[in-house]
Structure 1
Amino acid sequence: MGIIEGLRVPSILIAHTILKDPRRQQRSVFDAVAARVDQVIVMSEGAGQRLRGRFDIDHRKVTTIPHGATVPTKAPCVRSGRPIVLTRGLLGPGKGIERVIEAMGSLNNLPGRPRYLVAGQTHPEVLATDGEAYRNARIDQALRSGVADSVCFDTGYRNVAMLTALVQSAAVVALPYDSTDQVTSSALVDAIASGRPVVATAFPHAVELLATGAGIVVAHDDPDALACALRRVLTEPRLAGAMAAEARRLAPEMAWPLVARAYLGLAHRILAQRRARV
């Protein structure tokens, strides 16, 4: 707080996460910070609505700027081999990987025998407290379920270009998160930016971003619906094509140059307002 109060230039708070039910101390700290900055940026309309409705903040301070992403400029790659169901990101409890592993048993009979690729290292905080317990439990689950040859864990590091290529190689991106609270998901944005169909549990950012048809949203507690959604994307080319086309339509709004211009425009407006008050 002392740093913010000591600033002599305008300040912007980027609120990546807006808790639905913050503890009293969390609410107090956030309200105090928000009162001292010039603007608060959220990355989805749902986040903005939650912020205005649940926190003590001047609504005029809230600006929505989408999460940025790298939008590929090359034509989509030609996918060959086994279709890939992809989940990527830091791994740990809450990612819902077990949901897709459970679904893979019902997908093994599909043409091409889809493969579930879980790409990402274990979250550092999880690694520090629990080691690789979550990853190992999921490997054991795949073995017990008889789908070990269809589930792959990849911990390799990828730069932005390599990560974009990985997402583009997927037949479908699965976001089976436990959270019913998540208002910003970089993995979701990256999937849309790369023009890939998405199957996700009903966390708020997915409900909002996939509402026009770029993906299928399923209930958290409905494994049959998750398996059915994945099966549809993998076996219905027209549906998958329509979802990919809608993702490509949405993608330009997330391109980093456009997002950067929105931030720059906001900064100019804040400076102009400051000058007008002097």
Structure 2
Amino acid sequence: MVSRAVFAVPGDLRTVTGGYVYERSLLEALRGLGIDVAHVPLGASFPEPSPAHVAEAATALAAVDDDVPLILDGFLVGAMPTTALAAVSAPMVGIVHHPLAHEEGLDAQRRGHLFRTERDNLRLLRAVLVPSPHTARMLISEYDVPAERITVVRPGTVRPGTVRPEPALPRPLSASAVGPDPSAPPLVLAVGIQHPRKGHDVLLRALAQLTDVPWRAIIAGTPHDPDHVARLHELTGQLGLVHRVRLAGAVSSAERDELYRQADVFALATRYEGYGLVFDEALAHGLPIVSCRTGAVPDTVPPDAGLLAPPDDPDAFAAALRALLVDPELRARLAASAARAGAGLPTWRDAARVTARVLDAVL
């Protein structure tokens, strides 16, 4: 097995988003296999890097020995100038959660630039790691990456009750929000950063159609940008949901686990997912899922464990939620299927073993 590797990640590896959780967990699991993995932190301006951060990254990557595999975070694969990556002598392995050109809110010029940069950079890599078959298909069909250079490394799942390292976080969620309350109505839980792509606005509009049904809801996730967070709070008030919906913001891993344990339904009205770690977390906790038929979600959520609506469709999402809220037997049946699927999910050690085989191969 390969004995050394370098993992280059821009920004703070403790950031609580799916991509950072994936890479931090994979790095720790690779070290757990006995591989000496050096973490190279780079400037936080990626995926819109400043000239200084590009120069810093170029110097750091070029300094890696040519007999040591170099793992590149997706922001580097998608936004690093191709000329800088071409100067790297180490065998490069890229991680692509989803192509940057598929992000929400890009103008045509920016989208085209990101597409061309990522396509050209992918040609320089010895191997590419992706979290889902969906992302693999996209890289093959849109970016001309040979299928034999792509390996699906499904994220590992931390089993409920497992103690895990805790990144620094803002204020904790109050205990009253997660304490047991058998008399309370069903809890609808959404976990995802407060970003337009996660569709929390769609969830709120769907919940507004269900005020005749007992439920309460918590949306937990790190604020992404102040304007969007403000819009979500404003929408909650406009829809008359302030007494039934809590926008919890960032929560610790332990608090998130407690929310999963208290929840009755997991609901994420996402507009797109390259994978979606939170779906595996929901399955591991035996939660029925309501989400959207987009990106990697159909590959991730078993058909007997959840209901999928079209993206950006509050009416269809409300109908799916209503079906679970008013029918305890359906909810229990989907929950049992979710628990079975969750019990079979890979661990991060499994993901590290697959990655280690790729690192061996590139040498």
1:234 matched residue in structure 2: 325
Task: Look up the match of 1:266.
Answer: 358
* Unaligned residue ranges in structure 2 (runs of 5+): 1-56, 70-91, 103-109, 163-178
2:259 to 156, 163, 166: 166
- Which residue of 202, 206, 221 maps to 1:120? 221
Find the partner of 2:96 among 11, 15, 19: 15
Counterpart check, 1:222 vs 2:313: yes
TM superposition shift of 1:225? 1.6
Q: TM-score, normalised by structure 2?
A: 0.63
% identical equivalent positions = 24
What is the CA-CA distance between 1:227 and the residue it aligns to? Answer: 1.0
Q: Distance in 1 between matches of 2:304 and 2:180?
A: 23
Counterparts of 1:65-214 in structure 2, within 5 Å, are 65-72=153-160, 80=182, 81-110=184-213, 113-123=214-224, 126=225, 131=226, 133-158=227-252, 160-179=253-272, 182-214=273-305
Higher relative contact order (CA 8 A, sep 6+): 1
Amino acid at match of 2:203: V
CA drift of 1:149 comes to: 0.8
Code of the aligned partner of 1:161: A
Report the Cα offset of residue 250 of structure 1.
2.4
More helix by share: 1
On the 8 A contact 2:223/2:250 being kept in 1, the answer is no
Cα pair 1:215 1:243 within 8 Å, conserved: yes
Q: Distance in 1 between matches of 2:304 and 2:312?
A: 22
Task: Write the letter of the residue equivalent to 1:139.
Answer: H
Shift of 1:219: 1.2
| Structure 1 counterpart of 2:114, one-letter code | Q
Asked if the contact 2:101–2:114 (Cα under 8 Å) also holds between the matched residues in 1, the reply is no
1:50, distance to aligned residue in structure 2 (A): 0.9
Structure 1: gaps of 5 or more residues: none
Deviation at 1:223, TM superposition (A): 2.1
Whether contact under 8 Å (1:121, 1:155) holds in the other structure is yes
Distance, in Å, in 2 between the alignment partners of 1:4 and 1:167 is 44
Contact 1:43 1:66 in 2 (8 A): yes
- 1:41 corresponds to: 129
1:50-83 superposed Cα distances (whole Å, 9 cap, x missing partner): 1111113232110011122212258xx9873232
Q: Report deviation, 1:4.
A: 6.0
CA distance in 2, matches of 1:4, 1:216: 47
The 1-side partners of 2:153 and 2:299 are apart by 14
Match of 1:51 among 122, 127, 139: 139
Preserved CA contact (<8 Å) 1:194 1:248:
yes
One of 118, 121, 124 as aligned partner of 1:30: 118
Distance 2:181 2:146 in 1: 49
The alpha-carbon distance between structure 1 residues 202 and 257, as it changes in their structure 2 partners (threshold 3 A), is same
The number of residues matched between the two structures is 257
Distance in structure 1 (CA, Å) of the matches to 2:263 and 2:197:
22
Distance 1:221 1:90, change over 3 A: closer
Asked if 2 retains the 8 angstrom alpha-carbon contact of 1:212 and 1:246, the reply is no
SS of residue matched to 2:97: coil
1:107 to 1:27, Cα distance in 2 relative to 1, 3 A: closer
Query: Is contact 1:5-1:36 (8 Å) kept?
Result: no
Distance 1:203 1:146 in 2: 29
Distance 2:96 2:65 in 1: 19
Deviations 1:174-197 (A, max 9, x none): 111233xx3222222322232211
Partners of 2:218 and 2:303 in 1: how far apart?
26
Q: Distance in 2 between matches of 1:174 and 1:107?
A: 14
Give the secondary structure class of the aligned counterpart of 1:36. coil
Choose 10-19 or 60-69, whichever is displaced more.
10-19
Range with greater deviation from structure 2 (185-194 or 196-205):
185-194
